[in-house]
Protein backbone atom coordinates (compact mmCIF):
# COMPACT_ATOMS: atom_id res chain seq x y z
CA UNK A 1 0.00 0.00 0.00
CA UNK A 2 1.16 3.57 -0.72
CA UNK A 3 2.32 5.83 2.08
CA UNK A 4 -0.11 8.00 4.00
CA UNK A 5 0.57 11.72 3.59
CA UNK A 6 0.03 14.46 6.18
CA UNK A 7 0.39 18.13 5.27
CA UNK A 8 0.76 20.09 8.54
CA UNK A 9 0.17 23.77 7.85
CA UNK A 10 0.68 26.70 10.22
CA UNK A 11 -0.45 30.26 9.50
CA UNK A 12 1.83 33.30 9.50
CA UNK A 13 4.91 31.52 10.87
CA UNK A 14 8.35 33.02 10.42
CA UNK A 15 11.18 30.81 9.20
CA UNK A 16 13.42 31.62 12.17
CA UNK A 17 10.93 30.19 14.69
CA UNK A 18 11.57 26.65 13.42
CA UNK A 19 14.41 26.03 15.86
CA UNK A 20 15.20 23.46 18.55
CA UNK A 21 14.25 25.74 21.45
CA UNK A 22 10.74 26.64 20.26
CA UNK A 23 10.00 23.54 18.15
CA UNK A 24 11.89 20.51 19.49
CA UNK A 25 9.48 18.02 17.90
CA UNK A 26 9.85 19.60 14.48
CA UNK A 27 13.61 19.51 14.98
CA UNK A 28 13.46 15.76 15.62
CA UNK A 29 11.25 15.36 12.53
CA UNK A 30 13.85 17.29 10.51
CA UNK A 31 16.53 14.89 11.77
CA UNK A 32 14.44 12.09 10.28
CA UNK A 33 13.88 13.99 7.04
CA UNK A 34 15.04 17.15 5.26
CA UNK A 35 14.99 20.74 6.46
CA UNK A 36 14.75 23.25 3.60
CA UNK A 37 16.57 26.45 4.46
CA UNK A 38 15.38 28.53 1.51
CA UNK A 39 11.64 27.99 1.16
CA UNK A 40 9.51 30.99 0.19
CA UNK A 41 5.79 31.55 -0.21
CA UNK A 42 4.29 32.15 -3.63
CA UNK A 43 1.97 34.80 -2.14
CA UNK A 44 2.21 36.30 1.39
CA UNK A 45 -1.57 36.37 1.95
CA UNK A 46 -3.68 33.57 3.49
CA UNK A 47 -6.29 32.81 0.81
CA UNK A 48 -4.07 33.19 -2.26
CA UNK A 49 -1.33 31.01 -0.75
CA UNK A 50 -3.91 28.30 -0.05
CA UNK A 51 -5.32 28.62 -3.56
CA UNK A 52 -1.87 27.99 -4.97
CA UNK A 53 -1.51 24.87 -2.85
CA UNK A 54 -4.86 23.40 -3.81
CA UNK A 55 -4.60 24.14 -7.54
CA UNK A 56 -0.87 23.85 -8.24
CA UNK A 57 -0.82 27.22 -10.05
CA UNK A 58 -0.04 30.75 -8.93
CA UNK A 59 -2.91 32.71 -7.36
CA UNK A 60 -3.37 34.99 -10.39
CA UNK A 61 -3.67 31.94 -12.63
CA UNK A 62 -6.46 30.29 -10.63
CA UNK A 63 -8.26 33.61 -10.10
CA UNK A 64 -7.69 33.88 -6.33
CA UNK A 65 -5.12 36.67 -6.09
CA UNK A 66 -6.72 38.30 -3.01
CA UNK A 67 -8.64 37.08 0.04
CA UNK A 68 -12.37 36.63 -0.35
CA UNK A 69 -12.32 34.90 -3.73
CA UNK A 70 -13.26 31.21 -3.66
CA UNK A 71 -11.80 28.71 -6.07
CA UNK A 72 -13.67 28.63 -9.40
CA UNK A 73 -16.42 26.03 -9.68
CA UNK A 74 -15.23 22.62 -10.92
CA UNK A 75 -11.62 23.33 -9.99
CA UNK A 76 -9.64 20.10 -9.81
CA UNK A 77 -7.81 20.24 -6.50
CA UNK A 78 -5.24 18.15 -4.68
CA UNK A 79 -8.08 16.25 -3.02
CA UNK A 80 -9.53 15.27 -6.40
CA UNK A 81 -6.23 13.82 -7.57
CA UNK A 82 -5.85 11.84 -4.35
CA UNK A 83 -9.47 10.66 -4.49
CA UNK A 84 -8.98 9.48 -8.07
CA UNK A 85 -5.95 7.45 -7.05
CA UNK A 86 -7.35 5.41 -4.19
CA UNK A 87 -6.71 7.70 -1.23
CA UNK A 88 -9.05 8.79 1.53
CA UNK A 89 -8.96 12.56 1.88
CA UNK A 90 -9.43 14.70 4.98
CA UNK A 91 -9.21 18.42 5.71
CA UNK A 92 -8.92 19.75 9.26
CA UNK A 93 -9.00 23.44 10.25
CA UNK A 94 -9.01 26.69 8.26
CA UNK A 95 -10.07 26.44 4.60
CA UNK A 96 -10.35 30.11 3.46
CA UNK A 97 -11.33 29.18 -0.10
CA UNK A 98 -15.14 28.95 0.01
CA UNK A 99 -16.61 32.38 0.73
CA UNK A 100 -16.96 35.29 -1.67
CA UNK A 101 -17.91 36.14 -5.23
CA UNK A 102 -16.89 34.08 -8.20
CA UNK A 103 -18.51 33.67 -11.61
CA UNK A 104 -21.44 35.89 -10.63
CA UNK A 105 -22.20 33.81 -7.53
CA UNK A 106 -21.73 35.05 -3.99
CA UNK A 107 -21.59 32.71 -1.03
CA UNK A 108 -21.13 33.88 2.55
CA UNK A 109 -19.96 31.05 4.77
CA UNK A 110 -17.18 32.59 6.83
CA UNK A 111 -19.09 31.75 10.02
CA UNK A 112 -21.50 29.09 8.76
CA UNK A 113 -21.34 25.63 7.25
CA UNK A 114 -19.52 25.33 3.94
CA UNK A 115 -21.55 23.90 1.03
CA UNK A 116 -20.26 20.44 0.14
CA UNK A 117 -19.23 21.47 -3.35
CA UNK A 118 -16.93 24.08 -1.81
CA UNK A 119 -15.03 21.57 0.29
CA UNK A 120 -13.12 21.08 -2.98
CA UNK A 121 -13.13 17.30 -3.01
CA UNK A 122 -12.19 16.58 0.61
CA UNK A 123 -14.45 13.77 1.82
CA UNK A 124 -13.83 14.21 5.54
CA UNK A 125 -13.96 17.72 6.96
CA UNK A 126 -13.61 19.25 10.41
CA UNK A 127 -13.14 22.98 10.10
CA UNK A 128 -14.43 26.37 9.05
CA UNK A 129 -13.85 28.61 6.07
CA UNK A 130 -12.50 31.45 8.22
CA UNK A 131 -11.55 29.82 11.50
CA UNK A 132 -10.67 33.15 13.16
CA UNK A 133 -14.33 34.14 12.70
CA UNK A 134 -15.71 31.03 14.42
CA UNK A 135 -13.21 30.88 17.28
CA UNK A 136 -10.64 32.66 19.39
CA UNK A 137 -7.40 31.41 20.89
CA UNK A 138 -9.65 29.57 23.32
CA UNK A 139 -13.05 28.06 22.46
CA UNK A 140 -15.14 28.17 19.31
CA UNK A 141 -16.90 25.98 16.79
CA UNK A 142 -16.30 24.24 13.46
CA UNK A 143 -18.38 22.14 11.04
CA UNK A 144 -18.19 18.66 9.61
CA UNK A 145 -18.58 17.67 5.95
CA UNK A 146 -22.37 17.47 6.38
CA UNK A 147 -22.70 20.97 7.80
CA UNK A 148 -23.16 19.89 11.41
CA UNK A 149 -21.85 22.40 13.93
CA UNK A 150 -19.27 21.13 16.44
CA UNK A 151 -18.50 23.28 19.49
CA UNK A 152 -15.13 22.97 21.18
CA UNK A 153 -13.55 24.22 24.38
CA UNK A 154 -9.90 24.79 25.18
CA UNK A 155 -6.94 26.12 23.25
CA UNK A 156 -7.78 26.18 19.54
CA UNK A 157 -4.56 24.59 18.23
CA UNK A 158 -5.03 21.68 20.65
CA UNK A 159 -8.60 21.07 19.57
CA UNK A 160 -7.82 21.26 15.83
CA UNK A 161 -5.09 18.71 16.42
CA UNK A 162 -7.56 16.54 18.36
CA UNK A 163 -9.84 16.43 15.31
CA UNK A 164 -6.89 15.24 13.21
CA UNK A 165 -6.05 12.55 15.75
CA UNK A 166 -9.69 11.47 15.82
CA UNK A 167 -9.53 10.91 12.07
CA UNK A 168 -6.33 8.84 12.32
CA UNK A 169 -7.83 6.65 15.02
CA UNK A 170 -10.91 5.86 12.93
CA UNK A 171 -9.89 5.88 9.27
CA UNK A 172 -10.29 2.90 6.92
CA UNK A 173 -7.00 0.98 7.06
CA UNK A 174 -7.73 -0.52 3.64
CA UNK A 175 -6.66 2.70 1.93
CA UNK A 176 -3.87 5.22 2.40
CA UNK A 177 -4.97 8.70 3.44
CA UNK A 178 -4.05 12.27 2.51
CA UNK A 179 -4.80 14.67 5.36
CA UNK A 180 -4.41 18.44 5.21
CA UNK A 181 -4.17 19.95 8.72
CA UNK A 182 -4.57 23.73 8.53
CA UNK A 183 -3.94 25.34 11.90
CA UNK A 184 -4.73 29.01 12.44
CA UNK A 185 -1.92 29.58 14.93
CA UNK A 186 0.18 31.65 15.24
CA UNK A 187 -1.97 34.05 13.13
CA UNK A 188 -3.26 37.06 15.08
CA UNK A 189 -6.88 37.07 16.21
CA UNK A 190 -8.51 39.53 13.80
CA UNK A 191 -11.30 40.89 15.98
CA UNK A 192 -8.92 41.46 18.90
CA UNK A 193 -5.92 42.57 16.83
CA UNK A 194 -3.50 40.50 18.87
CA UNK A 195 -1.82 37.12 19.00
CA UNK A 196 -3.19 34.59 21.47
CA UNK A 197 -0.72 32.03 22.74
CA UNK A 198 -1.60 29.43 25.38
CA UNK A 199 -1.67 31.22 28.72
CA UNK A 200 0.71 28.85 30.47
CA UNK A 201 3.45 29.37 27.86
CA UNK A 202 3.47 33.12 27.24
CA UNK A 203 5.60 34.16 30.22
CA UNK A 204 8.38 31.84 29.07
CA UNK A 205 8.95 34.10 26.05
CA UNK A 206 8.61 37.46 27.78
CA UNK A 207 12.32 38.28 27.34
CA UNK A 208 13.00 36.26 24.20
CA UNK A 209 15.39 38.10 21.84
CA UNK A 210 13.71 40.15 19.13
CA UNK A 211 14.95 39.25 15.61
CA UNK A 212 17.30 41.76 13.99
CA UNK A 213 14.98 42.35 11.03
CA UNK A 214 12.32 43.67 13.43
CA UNK A 215 14.23 45.43 16.19
CA UNK A 216 15.40 48.45 14.16
CA UNK A 217 11.85 49.31 13.04
CA UNK A 218 8.67 50.44 14.75
CA UNK A 219 6.00 47.76 15.12
CA UNK A 220 4.07 45.82 17.75
CA UNK A 221 6.59 43.01 18.23
CA UNK A 222 7.55 43.98 21.80
CA UNK A 223 4.06 43.34 23.14
CA UNK A 224 3.02 40.60 20.70
CA UNK A 225 6.12 38.42 20.25
CA UNK A 226 5.69 36.38 23.49
CA UNK A 227 2.17 35.24 22.54
CA UNK A 228 3.32 34.59 18.98
CA UNK A 229 6.14 32.27 20.07
CA UNK A 230 3.94 30.57 22.67
CA UNK A 231 1.43 29.77 19.93
CA UNK A 232 4.19 28.24 17.81
CA UNK A 233 5.40 26.11 20.70
CA UNK A 234 1.83 24.83 21.05
CA UNK A 235 1.89 23.80 17.38
CA UNK A 236 5.06 21.87 18.06
CA UNK A 237 3.48 20.16 21.07
CA UNK A 238 0.59 19.12 18.87
CA UNK A 239 2.84 17.92 16.07
CA UNK A 240 4.55 15.75 18.68
CA UNK A 241 1.21 14.41 19.89
CA UNK A 242 0.17 13.58 16.35
CA UNK A 243 3.45 11.77 15.66
CA UNK A 244 2.98 9.84 18.89
CA UNK A 245 -0.40 8.56 17.69
CA UNK A 246 1.06 7.59 14.30
CA UNK A 247 3.74 5.56 16.10
CA UNK A 248 1.21 4.03 18.46
CA UNK A 249 -0.90 2.92 15.47
CA UNK A 250 2.18 1.50 13.75
CA UNK A 251 1.87 3.78 10.71
CA UNK A 252 4.55 6.41 11.33
CA UNK A 253 7.18 4.77 9.14
CA UNK A 254 4.85 4.66 6.14
CA UNK A 255 3.53 8.21 6.58
CA UNK A 256 5.08 11.15 4.76
CA UNK A 257 4.86 14.35 6.79
CA UNK A 258 5.26 17.86 5.36
CA UNK A 259 5.36 20.82 7.75
CA UNK A 260 5.27 24.38 6.44
CA UNK A 261 3.37 27.70 6.61
CA UNK A 262 1.57 30.04 4.22
CA UNK A 263 3.75 33.10 4.90
CA UNK A 264 5.70 34.83 7.65
CA UNK A 265 5.11 37.84 9.91
CA UNK A 266 6.77 41.24 10.22
CA UNK A 267 4.67 42.65 13.09
CA UNK A 268 3.62 45.91 11.39
CA UNK A 269 7.22 46.94 10.69
CA UNK A 270 7.20 46.95 6.88
CA UNK A 271 3.62 48.10 6.35
CA UNK A 272 0.49 48.68 8.42
CA UNK A 273 -0.18 44.99 9.13
CA UNK A 274 1.68 41.68 9.32
CA UNK A 275 2.59 40.38 5.86
CA UNK A 276 1.96 41.37 2.20
CA UNK A 277 5.51 42.54 1.54
CA UNK A 278 8.62 41.22 -0.21
CA UNK A 279 10.73 41.06 2.95
CA UNK A 280 12.06 37.78 4.32
CA UNK A 281 10.05 38.29 7.51
CA UNK A 282 6.97 38.03 5.28
CA UNK A 283 7.98 35.49 2.60
CA UNK A 284 10.54 33.13 4.20
CA UNK A 285 8.79 30.08 5.66
CA UNK A 286 9.83 26.84 7.38
CA UNK A 287 9.69 23.57 5.44
CA UNK A 288 10.44 20.09 6.75
CA UNK A 289 9.67 16.90 4.81
CA UNK A 290 9.98 13.40 6.26
CA UNK A 291 9.29 10.56 3.87
CA UNK A 292 10.49 8.42 1.01
CA UNK A 293 12.78 10.32 -1.35
CA UNK A 294 14.00 12.78 1.29
CA UNK A 295 17.38 12.31 2.94
CA UNK A 296 17.55 11.92 6.70
CA UNK A 297 19.15 14.74 8.63
CA UNK A 298 19.81 16.85 5.55
CA UNK A 299 19.72 20.64 5.46
CA UNK A 300 18.99 21.57 1.87
CA UNK A 301 19.79 25.14 0.79
CA UNK A 302 18.28 25.13 -2.70
CA UNK A 303 15.51 27.63 -3.29
CA UNK A 304 12.03 26.12 -3.22
CA UNK A 305 8.56 27.66 -3.27
CA UNK A 306 5.18 26.88 -1.79
CA UNK A 307 4.06 26.34 -5.38
CA UNK A 308 6.46 23.37 -5.56
CA UNK A 309 4.55 21.48 -2.87
CA UNK A 310 1.49 20.34 -4.90
CA UNK A 311 3.67 18.39 -7.38
CA UNK A 312 5.81 17.20 -4.47
CA UNK A 313 2.72 15.76 -2.77
CA UNK A 314 1.53 14.01 -5.93
CA UNK A 315 5.01 12.64 -6.60
CA UNK A 316 5.13 11.23 -3.06
CA UNK A 317 1.84 9.42 -3.80
CA UNK A 318 3.06 8.18 -7.20
CA UNK A 319 0.35 10.24 -8.92
CA UNK A 320 1.04 11.77 -12.31
CA UNK A 321 1.70 15.49 -12.08
CA UNK A 322 -0.62 17.58 -14.31
CA UNK A 323 1.00 19.63 -17.06
CA UNK A 324 -0.86 22.67 -15.73
CA UNK A 325 1.10 22.67 -12.46
CA UNK A 326 3.56 25.56 -12.32
CA UNK A 327 5.88 24.23 -9.65
CA UNK A 328 8.42 21.40 -9.68
CA UNK A 329 8.40 18.35 -7.41
CA UNK A 330 11.13 19.04 -4.85
CA UNK A 331 12.43 15.47 -5.17
CA UNK A 332 13.73 16.45 -8.63
CA UNK A 333 14.05 20.21 -8.33
CA UNK A 334 17.41 21.65 -9.42
CA UNK A 335 19.14 24.41 -7.50
CA UNK A 336 17.20 27.13 -9.31
CA UNK A 337 18.03 30.80 -9.44
CA UNK A 338 15.02 32.30 -7.70
CA UNK A 339 11.60 32.06 -6.11
CA UNK A 340 8.86 34.15 -7.75
CA UNK A 341 6.41 35.92 -5.44
CA UNK A 342 3.14 37.67 -6.23
CA UNK A 343 1.95 40.27 -3.69
CA UNK A 344 -1.55 41.74 -3.34
CA UNK A 345 -3.81 43.86 -1.13
CA UNK A 346 -1.01 46.13 0.14
CA UNK A 347 0.00 46.65 -3.49
CA UNK A 348 -0.08 44.88 -6.81
CA UNK A 349 3.48 43.60 -6.59
CA UNK A 350 5.96 41.08 -7.94
CA UNK A 351 9.26 39.98 -6.47
CA UNK A 352 12.06 37.48 -6.89
CA UNK A 353 14.24 36.06 -4.12
CA UNK A 354 17.58 34.60 -5.15
CA UNK A 355 20.04 33.26 -2.62
CA UNK A 356 21.76 36.63 -2.51
CA UNK A 357 19.20 39.20 -3.60
CA UNK A 358 15.60 40.34 -3.17
CA UNK A 359 14.18 42.53 -5.92
CA UNK A 360 10.62 43.85 -5.77
CA UNK A 361 8.33 46.04 -7.90
CA UNK A 362 4.77 47.27 -7.44
CA UNK A 363 1.99 49.56 -8.58
CA UNK A 364 -0.81 51.23 -6.62
CA UNK A 365 -3.63 49.05 -8.00
CA UNK A 366 -3.94 47.22 -4.68
CA UNK A 367 -6.71 44.81 -5.66
CA UNK A 368 -5.71 44.24 -9.29
CA UNK A 369 -4.41 40.84 -10.31
CA UNK A 370 -1.66 42.31 -12.50
CA UNK A 371 -0.38 45.47 -14.16
CA UNK A 372 1.17 46.49 -17.45
CA UNK A 373 3.52 48.85 -15.63
CA UNK A 374 5.38 48.32 -12.35
CA UNK A 375 7.73 50.59 -10.46
CA UNK A 376 10.86 49.46 -8.64
CA UNK A 377 10.50 49.26 -4.87
CA UNK A 378 13.22 47.28 -3.11
CA UNK A 379 16.62 45.73 -3.65
CA UNK A 380 18.43 43.93 -0.85
CA UNK A 381 21.79 42.19 -0.79
CA UNK A 382 20.90 39.42 1.65
CA UNK A 383 24.51 38.27 2.05
CA UNK A 384 25.70 41.70 3.16
CA UNK A 385 22.46 42.72 4.89
CA UNK A 386 20.67 39.69 6.34
CA UNK A 387 18.17 41.81 8.28
CA UNK A 388 17.29 43.81 5.15
CA UNK A 389 17.98 47.17 6.74
CA UNK A 390 19.32 48.93 3.65
CA UNK A 391 17.22 49.34 0.51
CA UNK A 392 19.64 49.51 -2.44
CA UNK A 393 17.09 50.26 -5.16
CA UNK A 394 18.71 53.65 -5.87
CA UNK A 395 22.30 52.51 -5.37
CA UNK A 396 24.64 53.24 -8.28
CA UNK A 397 26.96 50.51 -7.04
CA UNK A 398 24.23 47.90 -7.57
CA UNK A 399 22.95 49.25 -10.89
CA UNK A 400 24.18 46.27 -12.93
CA UNK A 401 22.84 43.79 -10.37
CA UNK A 402 19.48 45.53 -10.42
CA UNK A 403 19.30 45.41 -14.21
CA UNK A 404 20.00 41.67 -14.24
CA UNK A 405 17.36 41.06 -11.57
CA UNK A 406 14.90 43.18 -13.52
CA UNK A 407 15.40 40.95 -16.58
CA UNK A 408 14.98 37.88 -14.42
CA UNK A 409 11.75 39.16 -12.88
CA UNK A 410 10.26 40.10 -16.25
CA UNK A 411 11.16 36.62 -17.50
CA UNK A 412 9.35 35.04 -14.53
CA UNK A 413 6.23 37.18 -15.05
CA UNK A 414 6.21 36.37 -18.77
CA UNK A 415 6.58 32.64 -18.17
CA UNK A 416 4.04 32.34 -15.34
CA UNK A 417 1.44 34.99 -16.22
CA UNK A 418 1.95 35.11 -20.00
CA UNK A 419 2.37 38.91 -19.81
CA UNK A 420 5.42 41.07 -20.36
CA UNK A 421 5.17 44.24 -18.25
CA UNK A 422 7.31 47.37 -18.24
CA UNK A 423 9.30 48.06 -15.06
CA UNK A 424 10.19 51.71 -14.43
CA UNK A 425 12.43 53.29 -11.78
CA UNK A 426 10.81 54.87 -8.76
CA UNK A 427 12.57 58.02 -7.69
CA UNK A 428 11.20 58.22 -4.17
CA UNK A 429 13.65 56.26 -2.06
CA UNK A 430 12.08 53.77 0.34
CA UNK A 431 13.50 53.79 3.86
CA UNK A 432 12.23 50.50 5.24
Asked if residue 177 and residue 126 are part of one domain, the reply reads: yes
Residue 372: count of CB within 10 angstroms of its CB: 9
What average pLDDT does this structure show over 97-110? 85
Q: What is the pLDDT of residues 277-322, one digit of tens each?
A: 999 999 999 999 999 999 999 999 999 999 999 999 999 999 999 9
CA 37 – CA 288 distance, rounded (Å): 9
pLDDT digits (tens, 9 = 90+) for 180-223: 999 999 999 999 999 999 999 999 999 999 999 999 999 999 99
- In whole angstroms, how far apart are CA 230 and each of 29, 65, 137, 234, 236? 20, 31, 12, 6, 10
In a shared domain, residues 230 and 378: no
Segment 60-66 mean pLDDT: 94
The tens digit of pLDDT for each residue in 225-266 reads: 999 999 999 999 999 999 999 999 999 999 999 999 999 999
Same domain, 77 and 222: yes
The pLDDT score that the predictor gives to residue 105 is: 73
Please classify residue 1 by burial: count the beta carbons closer than 10 Å to its beta carbon, then call 0-12 exposed, 13-18 middle and 19+ buried: exposed
Whether 339 maps to a domain, the answer reads: no
Q: Are residues 319 and 380 in the same domain?
A: no
Please indicate, yes or no, whether residues 197 and 106 belong to a single structural domain of this protein. Answer: yes
Query: Mind listing the pLDDT tens digit for each residue in 117-132?
Result: 999 999 999 999 999 9
Average pLDDT, the chain: 96
The predicted model gives 71-84 an average pLDDT of: 96
Q: Which of 281, 301, 329 is the last residue of a domain?
A: 329
Instruction: Supply the pLDDT for residue 103.
Output: 65
210, 289: one domain:
yes
How many structural domains comprise the chain?
2
Q: How far apart are CA 415 and CA 212, in angstroms?
A: 35
Assess contact for 413 and 351: CB atoms under 8 A: no
The model's confidence at residue 336, banded by pLDDT at 50, 70 and 90, is: confident
Residues 56 and 133 in one domain: yes
- CATH number of the domain to which 270 belongs: 3.40.720.10
Same domain (yes/no): 167, 224: yes
What CATH number did the domain enclosing 381 receive? 3.30.1120.10
What is the percent of the chain with per-residue pLDDT over 90, rounded to a whole number? 93
Q: By the 8 A CB rule, do 230 and 204 touch?
A: yes
- For residue 209, being part of any structural domain is answered with yes
* Residue 426: pLDDT band with limits 50, 70, 90: confident
Contact of 275 with 44, CB cutoff 8 Å: yes
Same-domain check for residues 265 and 395: no
- What percent of the chain is modeled with pLDDT above 70? 98
Of the listed ranges 92-106, 138-152, 411-425, the one predicted with least confidence? 92-106
Band of the pLDDT at 106, cuts 50, 70, 90? Answer: confident
Residue range of the domain that includes 371? 347-424
Q: 294 with 382, same domain?
A: no
> Does the residue 380 lie in any domain?
yes
Going by the DSSP 8-state scheme, the letter that residue 367 receives in this structure is: T
The reply to whether 334 falls in a domain is: no
Please tell me whether residues 364 and 291 are part of one structural domain.
no
Alpha-carbon Rg for the chain in angstroms: 21
Amino acid sequence: MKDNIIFYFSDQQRYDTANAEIMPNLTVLADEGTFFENCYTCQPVCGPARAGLQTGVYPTECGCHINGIPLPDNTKTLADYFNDNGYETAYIGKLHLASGKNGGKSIKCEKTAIPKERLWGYKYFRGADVLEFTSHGYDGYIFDENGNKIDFEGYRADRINDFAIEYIENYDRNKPFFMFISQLEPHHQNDRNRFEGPKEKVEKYRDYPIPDDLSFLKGNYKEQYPDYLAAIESLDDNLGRLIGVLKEKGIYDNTTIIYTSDHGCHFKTRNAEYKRSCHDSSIHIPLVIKGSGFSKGKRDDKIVSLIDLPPTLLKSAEIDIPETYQGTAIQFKPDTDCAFIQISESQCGRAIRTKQYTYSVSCAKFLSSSSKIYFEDYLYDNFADKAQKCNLISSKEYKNVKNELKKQLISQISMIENKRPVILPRFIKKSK
